[in-house]
Structure 1
Amino acid sequence: MTTYSAVVTTGIYCRPGCGARPLLRNTRTYEHPAAAEAAGFRACLRCRPYRVAAPIAADAPELVCRTWQLIIDGALDGGTEAALAERVGLSPRHLRRLFLRHLGATPDQLARSRRAHFARRLLDDTDLTVLDVAFASGFGSLRQFNRVMREIFRASPSDLRDRRHRSDRPAADGGLVLRVPCVPGYDWGAVRGLLAARAVPGVEEVDGDVYRRTITVDGAPGVLEVAPGQDGSLLVRAHLPYWEGLIHVVGQAGRMLGADTDHAAGVAALSGDPVLGPLVRKRPGLAVPGAWNALEAGVRAVVGRGAEEHGRATALMGALVAKLGAYVPGLPGGLTHTFPEPAALTPAALRATGLGEGEAEVLGALAADAGRGHPALGHGTSRDALAALPYAGHDLRQELAFRLGHREAFPAGDPEVRAALAGLGLDPTAPDRWRPWQALAAAHLMAHGGTL
C-alpha cells in the first residue's frame, strides 16, 4: 500500500519518491490521498499524487472493499452515505467508522477525492472544456465541480489547466487519450497475455502491445484501446458517443484490467508456497483479471463449461457474438460487433446458436437479471448474494465472484486452471491452503496453464 507523506508546515502532501525533503518531525503519513485531503492538505505540484493509483489495500476488510467498488460504480454520485450504508447492511455511522479506521476518510470524502483526481487528470491530459470535464468526472453541476476543485487543489479548474506541463497531453490520433494510473509493479505484458487468451472474436483483440474492445454506452457503440504508457501508467484511448460519466467507463476498464488493485500482500503470502511460489515470483506484477461486466463473465463461464480448452470456448463465443451481437461497421482491426445486450440473450435465441437446453436456460436467466440491474451482478456484490441466484451452480458462482473482484474466489472449472492444477500435480483441495488469496492464485495458474 502506498503511504502518502503530509508536511504540516506547508500544508502539502506527497507521494513516495517526491524530491521534497521535509523534516521528519513535521510530517504525517496517510494511506490514501483522500485521508490527507480530509485533514486539510493539498496535493504537491511537483510529484502530483493524483497521477498515481490510489488503491484500497487488498488486505482491507471485504466489506470495505465491496463498498469501495460500489463507490467506483457511482453509488455516491447522486446518492447518500445513508443509502450506501443500507445497501451493504450497515448503519451510516458504522460504515463511516469502518472507513475512517481502515482508510482514514469517509465514503463521501473518498468519492469526492476520486472524482477530483480524475478531473485533474482530464484537465492535464485533454482539451475537453471545463464543463465537459465536470460531467465526465461524475459531478452533478459546474458549481459543485468548481467548489470541490478549489477545496482539494486550492485553485479553480481553469487555473489548474493553465498550470499543466507542456508534455502532459498524450499524443492523440483520434479519440480521447488519457492516462490510467496503475499500482507499482503492474505487469501489463502478463495481463495482456491473459486478455489475449480469452479475447472474444469481434468484440476484443490484442494487437502487439495494444488491447482494444467494443463497449456499449446507453445503447450506443464505443471502442476502448489500451496501451502501455510512461511511469507505470496505461494509456486509454476512448472513442465514445459522449463524455458524460467517462469516469465510470474508465473505472470499469480499470477493474477489468486489474490496474488499481493492490496485490502486494497476496504476492508476499503466495511466494512462499512450494508449488505456486515459483509462478508468483516469475510474474509478481500479474493482476487478477476482471470482466467488463458480469454478463460477459457468465456467458464465457457457461459456454466454456464443456470445452476442454479455451480455443473451442473462444470459437463458440465468436459464433454467439456474430449471431446475437450488434454489427458495427468501420471499427478498427478485427472488431466487428458489440457484445449482445441482455434482451438479445433469450433461451430461444441461445438455443439457436447451438447451446444445449440447460446452458440456454441458465444464460437466459442470467441475462434477464443483468437487464434488470440485479444487485448481485454488480461489482461490490457479496458471495452470499451470488449464492442466492437460483440458476447459478457452484462453478458459475465462483467464476462470477472471481471476475467481480472477490479475493477468495477460485474458478476451479476454468479449463486453464484445471490444466495447471493437473500439470503441477495438485489435487482439488490445494486452493484451501492459499486462503485468502485464491483469486490471485487462480490468475497465476491461468497464466501458467496458458503458457504465457
Structure 2
Amino acid sequence: MTASTVDLDPASCYRAVKSRDRRFDGVFYTAVRTTGIYCRPSCPARTPAFANVSFHPTAASAQSAGYRACKRCIPDATPGSPGWDVAADVAGRAMRLISDGVVDREGVDGLSRRLGYTSRHLSRLLTRELGAGPLALARARRAQTARSLVESTDLRLTDVGFAAGFSSIRQFNETMREVYGSSPTQLRGRRRHGRPASGTVSFRLAVRTPFEGRSLLEFLAVRAVPGVEVADESSYSRTLSLPHGHGTVRLELADLLADGGVGQVSATFELSDLRDTSAAVERTRRLLDADCDPVAVTEALASDPVIGPLVRRHPGLRVPGHVDGAELAVRAVLGQQVSVARARGMAEGLVAEHGVAIETGTDGLTRLFPTAAALAGLAPEDFPMPRARGRALLALCAAVADGQVALDRGGDRVAVRDSLLAIPGIGPWTADYIALRALGDPDVFLPTDVGIRHALAALGADPADAATLSEEWRPWRSYAQLQLWHSLSTPEGER
C-alpha cells in the first residue's frame, strides 16, 4: 500500500497507524470510539486497539460520524490525498473546487453544474467515495481555514469567521466547538506561533517530503513576468486575481529533505477581501504541487535505466502548478516555438499594456495578469507574434471567457484536452503543457518538446524514442518530464 493507492483496507490502515507512517497523513483519518476524536495516522499518542478504531477518507467523514479533531496532532493540517490527482475522478475534482471555495460562493448547485451532475446525484457520489456530502466537506474546509487564521493572525474573530467562509458568527462558533472541542477564543489562547505584521495573513502550507523548494524556485524565477511575479534567492511572490478582489502571496521556498514526512512552506498573503482566503490558499497549494506523494513517484521511477539516476538524485522534485489556469494557457500559447526568455518578454508586454494596475506591499508587484475576457477583445495584430498564433490566442481567450473551456481543475481532463485541441492553432504540445501545469495531471509527457529531446540525448537515449520510453513512466510521466527538464540545468559531471 502506498499513499497514492490506499483503499482504506482496515488491516492496512492499522499497520500504517501502528508504525506512525507520516506518508499517510491526509490520505486517511483514524477515529477512536473510546475517546471520540480523530487523528492523523502519525499521531504520537498511544496506538488504540484495533477494535476501537475506524478509518475515514476525509476529515469531513470523521466529523460527520461525530468525532472531534485531535488537539495534539491537528489532523486537518496535512496535505490532501495524492490519490485524487492520480484518479482524476469526480470526487477528486469536487474536492479541488470545494477547497477553492466554490460551495461557499455558488452553493451545492453551483458545484454540481461545474461537475455536470445533479445536486442529489453528486451528494450520493461524494458520500459514497469520501464519506461526506458537499456541504459537510465545505464545512470541514472552512473549519480548517478558520483554525489556521485564529492561531496565526491577529484578525478579529468576527473577521476570521467571514474570511473562512462562514455565513454567521453563530455558525462559526458552533462549528469550531463541534470540530475542535474548543471555542475560537480558547483556540486563540493556545496559539504557539508569533504574530504576523498588520495587514497580512500567514499560513504554513503542508507538503509531503522530500520537497525540493530550491528547484521549484529556480523554475518559477526563470519564467517570472515583471509586474506580476518577483523572485529572489529564497522567495517567490506574485499577484493573485481572486473571486472577490485581488491579492499577493510570498512563498519562502527551501529544500525539505526529511523522507516521507510532512513539511511546511511559509506563505504570506495580502488580500483586498478576506473572503478570498480559502481560494488564495488552495491556488497556492496547486502552485506548490503540495499534494504530491514523492515517495510513490520515486518508488515507481528510481529503477528506470534512463531517468532512474535523476530521480534518485532529486526525489523531491515537484511539477510547478499555477494559480490561474487561464493565465497559464495564455502563456503556453506565447511560448509556442520560442525560447523561455522570449515568451517571458511577450508576457511582460501584455501585462504592461493590458494588465490591471494594483497597489501592493511588495516591491515589483504592480499588476494583475490580463483576463481572458480582456484579451479576447483585441485583434491578432495587437500581439507581437505571427498572425496565425495571434488568432489562436484570441480563440483560446474567447473559449475560456465564455465558459467553453474550463481550466479550474474541476473538469474532466480528457474533455478539457479535447476542447483545447478543437481550437485552431492549439496543438498537442500546448494542450499537454496546460494539462501539466494548470490541470495538475500527473501523467503528461511532451515527447516533441525541444528541451526533452536535448535532455534525452545528453543521457544517451534516442530522442526519437521519447514517446515509447515514456510509456514505462506511467502514471508519473509529468514527474519524469520535470526530471528531464531539470537535468538540463545540472552540471554534466553530476548528471
TM-score relative to the length of structure 1 = 0.88
In the other structure, the counterpart of 1:297 is 328
Residues in 2 aligned to 1:8 and 1:152: alpha-carbon distance in whole angstroms: 15
Instruction: Specify the code of the residue in structure 1 equivalent to 2:488.
Output: G
Instruction: Specify the code of the residue in structure 1 equivalent to 2:67.
Output: F
| Contact 1:175–1:239 (8 Å) recurs in 2 | yes
Q: 1:131 to 1:144 in 2, by over 3 A?
A: same
Deviations 1:228-272 (A, max 9, x none): 599721221112212112111111111122123445433322223
In the other structure, the counterpart of 1:62 is 89
Deviations 1:110-137 (A, max 9, x none): 2221121111111111111222212211
Q: 1:106 to 1:415 in 2, by over 3 A?
A: farther
The answer to whether 1:433 aligns with 2:472 is yes
- The one of 148, 155, 168 equivalent to 2:175 is 148
The answer to whether 1:399 aligns with 2:400 is no
Q: 1:422 to 1:295 in 2, by over 3 A?
A: farther
Deviations 1:58-88 (A, max 9, x none): 4445333222222223332255556644543
In the other structure, the counterpart of 1:377 is 407
Instruction: Specify the code of the residue in structure 1 equivalent to 2:301.
Output: L
In the other structure, the counterpart of 1:203 is 228
Deviations 1:279-319 (A, max 9, x none): 22222222222112122211221111121x32232223223
In the other structure, the counterpart of 2:63 is 37
- The one of 448, 452, 460 equivalent to 1:417 is 452
Residues in 2 aligned to 1:336 and 1:239: alpha-carbon distance in whole angstroms: 13
Residues in 1 aligned to 2:448 and 2:341: alpha-carbon distance in whole angstroms: 16
Residues in 1 aligned to 2:281 and 2:110: alpha-carbon distance in whole angstroms: 24
After TM superposition, the structure 1 = structure 2 runs for residues 46-57 of structure 1, keeping only pairs within 5 Å, are 46-57=72-83
Bigger Cα displacement from structure 2, 108-117 vs 212-221 = 212-221
| Contact 1:319–1:353 (8 Å) recurs in 2 | no
In the other structure, the counterpart of 1:448 is 487
| Contact 2:250–2:267 (8 Å) recurs in 1 | yes
Query: SS in structure 2 opposite 1:50?
Result: coil
How far 1:435 moved relative to its partner?
2.1
Query: SS in structure 2 opposite 1:51?
Result: coil
Residues in 2 aligned to 1:32 and 1:292: alpha-carbon distance in whole angstroms: 24
Residues in 2 aligned to 1:109 and 1:60: alpha-carbon distance in whole angstroms: 22
Instruction: Specify the code of the residue in structure 1 equivalent to 2:432.
Output: Q
| Contact 1:33–1:54 (8 Å) recurs in 2 | no
Query: SS in structure 2 opposite 1:363?
Result: helix
> Kindly, what percent of the aligned residue pairs are identical?
37
- The one of 252, 263, 273 equivalent to 1:242 is 273
Bigger Cα displacement from structure 2, 316-325 vs 87-96 = 87-96
Instruction: Specify the code of the residue in structure 2 equivalent to 1:14.
Output: C
Instruction: Specify the code of the residue in structure 2 equivalent to 1:428.
Output: A
In the other structure, the counterpart of 2:384 is 354
Q: 1:173 to 1:127 in 2, by over 3 A?
A: closer
Q: 1:423 to 1:318 in 2, by over 3 A?
A: farther
Q: 1:208 to 1:145 in 2, by over 3 A?
A: same
Residues in 2 aligned to 1:172 and 1:350: alpha-carbon distance in whole angstroms: 45
After TM superposition, the structure 1 = structure 2 runs for residues 130-169 of structure 1, keeping only pairs within 5 Å, are 130-162=157-189, 164-165=190-191, 167-169=192-194
The answer to whether 1:11 aligns with 2:41 is no
In the other structure, the counterpart of 1:386 is 417
| Contact 2:71–2:180 (8 Å) recurs in 1 | no
How far 1:46 moved relative to its partner?
1.6
| Contact 1:298–1:400 (8 Å) recurs in 2 | yes
The answer to whether 1:105 aligns with 2:105 is no
In the other structure, the counterpart of 1:335 is 365
Deviations 1:190-212 (A, max 9, x none): 32222123222331122111110
Q: CA RMSD in A?
A: 2.9
Q: 1:336 to 1:85 in 2, by over 3 A?
A: closer
Residues in 2 aligned to 1:140 and 1:412: alpha-carbon distance in whole angstroms: 49
Residues in 1 aligned to 2:353 and 2:296: alpha-carbon distance in whole angstroms: 43
Q: How many residues align?
A: 449
After TM superposition, the structure 1 = structure 2 runs for residues 196-345 of structure 1, keeping only pairs within 5 Å, are 196-217=221-242, 221-228=246-253, 232-307=263-338, 309-328=339-358, 332-345=362-375
| Contact 2:244–2:275 (8 Å) recurs in 1 | no
Instruction: Specify the code of the residue in structure 1 equivalent to 2:217.
Output: R
Query: SS in structure 1 opposite 2:249?
Result: strand
| Contact 2:292–2:318 (8 Å) recurs in 1 | yes
Query: SS in structure 1 opposite 2:275?
Result: coil
